[in-house]
Structure formats: structure tokens, C-alpha cells
Amino acid sequence: MSLNWRQYYIRKWCLIIFILITFIGFAILSNYISEKYLSFAVLLWMALAGIPLAFRFGACSCPNCGRPIHIKGLFGFPFSPKCLHCGIKIGQKESE
């Protein structure tokens, strides 16, 4: 596994763990604060943590072509099983 795929998997798991923590955390938090403040807290949390983390995951560069794996032009497809530019599968070695 090349260093870039390793970085890719680390960022992917960080994003998955972030999403789980967000759902569980705000479900617990909803018992203690009112809906008005909860929606503000969700917006603040997503602006400060969610969006930067999603951009960091989306900007993972492909080890084969060096371009962002999940972003092509103005659009991104985070569930793509392969690079949107060169078509290499996620985790596949460059020479295969």
C-alpha cells in the first residue's frame, strides 16, 4: 500500500468517525439544550469541523495521476470506488 492510499484510508476513517460522533453527540446533546440552540450548534460544528474535514477527504490525491480522487471539475463524488480522473481503483497499486 503506497503512502497516499494509507493517507486516503486514514482520512476516510476520520470522516466516518466524525459522522458517528456528530450523530451520537447531538442526539445526547438534544436532551440538554433547546432546539433553537441545538440547530445553531449543529451549524457551528459543521462549519468549523465538518466542512474542512470533508474538503480534506475530497482533496486526497491519487497516487497514480496525482489529481484529487473524488473531485472532477466543480463536482465531487465521494462514494466513487475509483479515481474520477484515471480510473484506478481505490487501494490498487499503480502498476497493476
For Zn ion, the closer CB: 3 or 27: 3
Find the binder of Zn ion among 5, 8, 57, 64 (CB under 5 A). 64
For Zn ion, the closer CB: 62 or 71: 62
- Separation of alpha carbons 29 and 26, rounded Å: 5
Query: Residue 87 CB, nearest distance to Zn ion (Å)?
Result: 7
In angstroms, the Cα distances linking 43 to 17, 40, 46, 89 are: 18, 5, 5, 34
Find the binder of Zn ion among 41, 42, 86, 90 (CB under 5 A). 86
Catalog residues that contact Zn ion under the rule CB under 5 A.
62, 64-65, 83, 85-86
